[in-house]
Amino acid sequence: MAQGRRRGLDYTPLFMFLLSKVGRPWDEVFSEAVSRLDRREPIFWMVSLHRDGAEPYIAVSGSSYFSGLYVDEEGVLRKVDSALDETSLAPSCKCCTHTFNGKPFTRKFRQG
């Protein structure tokens, strides 16, 4: 995997930024996020502008997961499923450290 990792491809700081803005007006969050980026696309990996079709979580790489976010009717940024956290998902392999919103999974890998 190290080979495919180019400078600028790690959007973890963006995703952590967006997470920290849950509950804030989307317009405000979006303009701040855009001002830090060279392109807008990665914002929408995590944020849906409508609840319909919004994913409860996103997998950024095989082992890095983040909450899915959406913008509610009042224009406020929300988590699709606020009950999801690092205790919710099981790792898909044994060799990698899986994280949810930057925190290591607490569940262990189980074969089959």
Q: List residues near Zn ion by CB under 5 A.
A: 93, 95-96
Least distance CB 107 / Zn ion (angstroms): 15
Q: Which is nearer to Zn ion, 35 or 97 (CB)?
A: 97
Task: Compare residues 25 and 102 and give the one whose CB is closer to Zn ion.
Answer: 102
- The CA–CA distances, whole Å, from 81 to 10, 19, 33, 88 equal 24, 13, 22, 11
Residues 105, 90: contact at Cβ < 8 Å?
A: yes
Tell me if 15 sits within 8 A of 46, measured CB to CB.
Answer: yes
* Torsion angle in degrees (nearest 10) through CA of 79, 85, 88, 93: 110
CB closer to Zn ion out of 9 and 93: 93
Query: Least distance in Å: CB of 32 to Zn ion?
Result: 34
Please, what is the minimum distance in Å from the beta carbon of residue 111 to Zn ion?
13
